Amino acid sequence: MFTLTRRVACAGISLGCAMAALAASPAALAQSDTYPNRPVRLIVPFPPGGTSDLMGRLIAEALGKQLNQPFVVDNKAGAGGSIGAAEAARATPDGYTLLLSGIGSNAIAHGYTPKPSYDSKKDFIHISQLAAGANVLVVNPAFPARTFQEFIAYAKAHPGQFSYGQVNASSGHLSSEYLKQAAHIDIVGIPYRGGAPAVNDVLANQIPGMFTNHDAVYPHVKAGKLRALVITSPQRNPLYPDVPTVAESGYPGFSAVSWTGLSAPAGTPRPIIDKLEAAMRQAFAKPEARARLEAMGFVVVASTSQEYTQFVHQEIDHWLQVIQAAGIKFE
């Protein structure tokens, strides 16, 4: 189980990083001294306008200021982020093509059938996790359950009768599957092509509820058009201070967050990785950069490469287990 708390990386990762640093060639060191000396391409594997695109543009802006070169967002959407991630994995490992990595493209995708053409454990160097955001279970105000405990009681008393909106392979979808396993409830997912149509149907009481990204429904919750029952982060979210977590509601250790960060193709020289990691951490240590994310309810992580690598590996293993237990076949 993962949490947002930073943990000391395993000795194997630490040793590998130390050996890589010692093995850095004079050419790689020289290259890092002048890096970047031209614009850097940041592949965002989702369309413009969504949360991932926003995260990518925040990273591009911050790194551009830190490193005095343009970082240009290139949206390469499709297949739950796998198309853009595959392109990044195949790119020349010179630091001039980077990936906005995240839970969809770099963890959940490894439960697809067939699996993606890349391996997030082998084909990328994970530089720094930027932020994490919770999913929230929202229902139409007409739904009889007013608390999470009442929701669980309703689901157990009415197996198969609670229909929820799901965007296949999203963090909201997997949060639903994880809760079904943890709470032993039978609720039924209704597939949607995107989050907005599903939210609209919850607003119209066409379906009673759904798990989705906290930022996507906050205006509706604030306006009283949706009721938030529970949130999936390990700690309560500042935008939803009165909404309990799943973990504190009888399911200790439950955590299901969406996350984004910065990754590079495997083989990118370690000195360049180190420079990018330092720039990410410095940029998002600044109060103004953190405030933009925290105002939307995101937890700013700005982790080290070692921490992010360990986190990504844990996420791959965790969500693969959830997907296999649910018998889901993503095509």
- pLDDT tens digits along 93-138: 999 999 999 999 999 999 988 889 999 999 999 999 999 999 999 9
- Above 80 in pLDDT, residue 302? yes
Q: What span, in angstroms and rounded, lies between the C-alpha atoms of 167 and 261? A: 22
Amino acid present at 132: A
CA-wise closest residue to 62 among 280, 292, 271: 280
pLDDT in tens, 221-254: 999 999 999 999 999 999 999 999 999 999 999 9
Backbone φ, ψ for residue 148 (5° rounding): -65, -40
Q: What is the pLDDT of residue 86?
A: 97
- pLDDT above 50 (res 10): no
**Averaged pLDDT, 254-266:** 97
Task: For 207, list phi and psi in degrees, rounded to 5.
Answer: -130, 150
Pick from 306, 317, 261: which is nearest to 8 by CA? 306
The pLDDT tens digits for 190-221 are 999 888 999 999 999 999 999 999 999 999 99
Position 11 pLDDT exceeds 50: no
Q: What is the pLDDT of residue 5?
A: 35
Ranking 6-20, 230-244, 260-274, 286-300 by mean pLDDT, the lowest is 6-20
Checking if the pLDDT of 79 tops 90, the result is no
pLDDT of residue 26: 57
pLDDT (tens digit, 9 = 90+) per residue, 37-68?
999 999 999 999 888 999 999 999 999 999 99
- Mean per-residue pLDDT, 17-30: 50
pLDDT of 317 > 60? The answer is: yes
Q: Which of 195, 165, 222 is nearest to 52 (CA)?
A: 195
Q: Inform me whether the pLDDT recorded for 265 exceeds 60.
A: yes
Its pTM stands at 0.86
Answer whether 258's CB lies under 8 Å from 102's CB. Answer: yes
To which H or E segment does residue 311 belong?
helix 305-326
- Mean pLDDT, the chain, integer: 90
Mean pLDDT for the stretch of residues 10-28? 45
Mean pLDDT, range 75-92, rounded to an integer? 95
pLDDT, mean of residues 143-155: 98
Percent of the chain, pLDDT > 90? 83
**pLDDT class for 1, splitting at 50, 70, 90?**
very low
pLDDT for 68: 97
Domains of the chain, first to last? 40-132+257-326 (3.40.190.150), 134-231 (3.40.190.10)
Residue 124 DSSP code: E
Three-class SS of residue 115?
A: coil
Contacts 24+ apart (CB under 8 A), 175-180: 175/135, 175/137, 175/211, 175/232, 175/256, 176/210, 176/211, 177/322, 177/323, 177/326, 177/328, 178/254, 178/256, 178/322, 179/137, 179/211, 179/246, 179/251, 179/254, 180/326
3-state secondary structure of 317: helix
How would residue 32 be classed by pLDDT, with cut points 50, 70 and 90? Answer: confident
Select from 132, 133, 127, 114 the least CA-distant residue to 88. Answer: 127
If pLDDT is split at 50, 70 and 90, which confidence band does 2 have?
very low
Check residue 39 and give its pLDDT.
98
